[in-house]
Chain A
Amino acid sequence: MSAHVIELNQVTREHGSPPVRAVDGVSLIVEAGEMVAIVGPSGSGKSSLLNLIGTLDRPTTGSALIDGADVARMSDNALSALRAYRVGFVFQQFHLSEGVTAIDNVADGLLYTGVGVRERRRRAVDALTRVGLGHRTTHKPSQLSGGERQRVAIARAVVSRPPLLLADEPTGNLDQTSGASVVELLHELNRDGTTIVVITHDVELAQKLPRRIMIRDGRVVSDSKDTP
């Protein structure tokens, strides 16, 4: 399997009719183990790019290879499997189920891998411990702070140990302190080998990540990398 976790070649994505080009000829490569920020103002096509990288959507033209698999040529079922095993998602609004404990929210990350409920819970506890919430497994989202909720969401994204983690404005709904701790957690996960892509409009947040890809009007305007 290729070492490229993400490989986009002249990818475009058009929406509606008349077509509006949300992603316009993007080519980029992300290697395994990288930590990348995709930065751009709202309406720049970040979300469309996230959908493509996360295999939630297919490109109109060009090719998108995620974890070595050509998204355009795969069936919906195969893409589902790819997401279940190879890609984890973290969202700005957390998207946790209210009224369900942290452990069961995290266990849902394994729901579609056909693992039994006991095993799912066991691994959920591991994941929660990994994000520093080992002591809050039986709390419901309403009993957790924003930062803790985002950690639960991150635990759900990594519980199946996917090589790629996509985070969409992970600190967007958080205050400064909890935002910083979430970024620190992402760094930790990256040190453990997970490839992380953070989509954000927050340049300050992007500065904390080793590689920054700037997007404007659906195109890459800059791609800079810190030299370690």
Chain B
Amino acid sequence: MKRRRTAREQVSALPAKTRSRLLRKDVLRLGASGLKSRPTRVVLSALGIAIGIAAMIAVVGISTSSQAKLNEQLSSLGTNLLTVGAGKSLFGDQSKLPETAAGQVSRIEGVEKTAWLAELEGIKSYRSRLIDSGQSGGITAAAVSDTLLDVTEASMKSGNWFNEATANYPTVVLGAKAAQRLGVVTPGTQVWIHDQLFTVLGVLDPVPLAPELDTMAMFSEHTAIETLGWEKNPTTIYERSSDESVDAIRALLPRAVNPENPEEVEVSRPSDALAAKNAADTAFTGLLVGLGSVALLVGGIGVANTMVITVLERRREIGLRRALGTTRKHIRSQFLAEALLLSALGGVAGVGIGMVVITVFANANGWPVSVPPLVIISGVAATIVIGAVAGLYPAIRAARTPPTAVLAS
């Protein structure tokens, strides 16, 4: 050992021409040619890495794409919608909003527009008079203000919203689910409500910010008072303001709506509920990424395994290269390069597969494709680290192969 150390000092004193040298380009070529000679094995062990990386990228990409969809939705729907509802009184009874509530809300400074909705108890809707009265389908009847469509950013799937003319006739607008349950497809259909025929004016699309509308049969103020016996108490008030004043208005709302019992008023922000749902999905994504990283680890072990076998099989080649004048370091670099290329190959393939999965999944769900570049970069970086770790031990073993292996039979 000691003898060798003194000898090593001699080497550095040797002129460059009498030192073994291997160009960096050639290290890569050697690594690549080593892989080329065993294509099946290369594909199979790169596949292990590819699956791991693809799983991770796909999971992260699908999650970010759904987040992008949500952000898109929130920015089009707005996060400045507040809803005010009647809560429970101190004694646990369902309280009512005062008749004047909607007017009070619109007088708060900063409020841009308001709408209201009043659930009508005991009003059941049927497809026709022949339907058994027990099969009411869970459809809620509600009186609504004209402005509801605008304030909740709801859109008509078919037909029209109330106008001055139609509001005075027995007409109804159905939410998406309510129309489905009643079997109503086209406007103009007549349905049986409160022992009377009502004409369906239109059907709404699902309303993301006010999902309660989906199961409702909606009536104009006039119809509700004249035909359905509504007493003019709203149950929910919708309000929009500028984004900056949302918090201030939120604090003012209970007292404005019900000055006597402000604690009975419930204020909520529907966009928060959407975001919270997405946050729950994110926790699940974390779990899947964990699973993906296990797959990646297994892929890395596959690469290490392949490299160990390769080194054992190629003792003669290593011996020959030593006879041709390569140093241990060069042999180590050659096999490390081979392992790195192998796992980088898997990494690039994995990123490709992952992107395809994300694109297919996002298109199927109507989401925008969104993959943070950082995810792709760190995916490829991870494979390079894995290749280095997986290749280190086999490369060191290869370097330890004695030159005499070229003659060993």
Interface positions of A (Cβ within 8 A of B) = 47, 50-51, 54, 56-57, 72-78, 80-85, 89, 91, 95, 97-100, 108-109, 111-114, 116-117, 156, 160, 168
Contacts and interface: CB of A to CB of B under 8 A. Distances in A.
A81 B403 CA distance: 13
Given A56-B402, A80-B327, A91-B407, 7 more contacts: A51-B407, A54-B323, A56-B403, A57-B404, A78-B11, A84-B325, A116-B23
B7 A75 contact: yes
Interface in B109-156: none
B3 to A, nearest CB: 7
Interface string B397-409: 0000011101100
A95 B322 contact: no
6 contacts: A56-B404, A56-B406, A73-B7, A81-B327, A89-B320, A114-B22
A83 B7 contact: no
Contacts of A112: 20-22, 321, 324-327, 330
A80 B330 CA distance: 10
Contact of A95 (B18, B20, B320): B320
B14 interface: yes
A80 B21 CA distance: 10
A101 B26 CA distance: 17
Contacts of A78: 7, 10-11, 14
Contacts of B36: 99
Interface in B320-367: 320-330
A112 to B, nearest CB: 4
Contacts of A80: 20, 322, 325-328
Contacts of B407: 47, 50-51, 56, 91, 168
Interface string B40-60: 000000000000000000000
A57 B327 contact: no
Contacts of B402: 56-57
Q: Which of A51, A99, A100 has the most CB of B within 10 A?
A: A51
B8 A113 contact: no
A74 B9 CA distance: 10
A76 B328 contact: yes
B76 interface: no
A91 B405 CA distance: 12
B297 to A, nearest CB: 34
Contacts of A51: 403-404, 407
By Cβ-Cβ distance, the 6 closest A-B pairs, closest first, are: A84-B325, A114-B21, A75-B7, A56-B403, A112-B325, A83-B325
B contact patch SS: helix
Contacts of B326: 80, 84, 111-112
B142 to A, nearest CB: 79
B3 A73 contact: yes
A78 B328 CA distance: 11
Contacts of A75: 4, 7-8, 10-11
Q: Which of B23, B328, B330 has the most CB of A within 10 A?
A: B23
A139 B29 CA distance: 20
Given A84-B326, A85-B325, A117 B20 contact: no
Contact of A74 (B10, B33, B327): B10
B322 A81 contact: no
Contacts of B11: 75, 77-78, 81
A80 B25 CA distance: 20
Interface of B: 3-4, 6-8, 10-11, 14, 17-23, 25-26, 29, 33, 36-37, 316-317, 319-330, 402-404, 406-407
Contact of B23 (A81, A85, A100, A114): A114
Contacts of A97: 33, 317
A80 B406 CA distance: 14
Nearest to B327: A80
A160 B18 CA distance: 12
A54 B325 CA distance: 11
B18 to A, nearest CB: 5
Contacts of A77: 8, 11, 19-20, 327-329
A69 to B, nearest CB: 10
Nearest to B323: A89
A154 to B, nearest CB: 14
A160 B403 CA distance: 19
B350 to A, nearest CB: 28
B323 A81 contact: no
A81 B18 contact: yes
A117 B403 contact: no
Given A73-B7, A76-B4, A95 B325 contact: no
B363 to A, nearest CB: 43
Contacts of B8: 75, 77
Contacts of A98: 37
A175 B11 CA distance: 44
A83 B328 CA distance: 13
Nearest to A98: B37
Contact of A109 (B21, B29, B322, B324): B324
Nearest to A162: B325
B324 A108 contact: yes
Contacts of A108: 324
B324 A85 contact: no
Nearest to A99: B37
Contacts of A54: 323
Contact of B406 (A72, A73, A95): A95
A156 B325 CA distance: 12
Contacts of B4: 75-76
Nearest to B25: A117
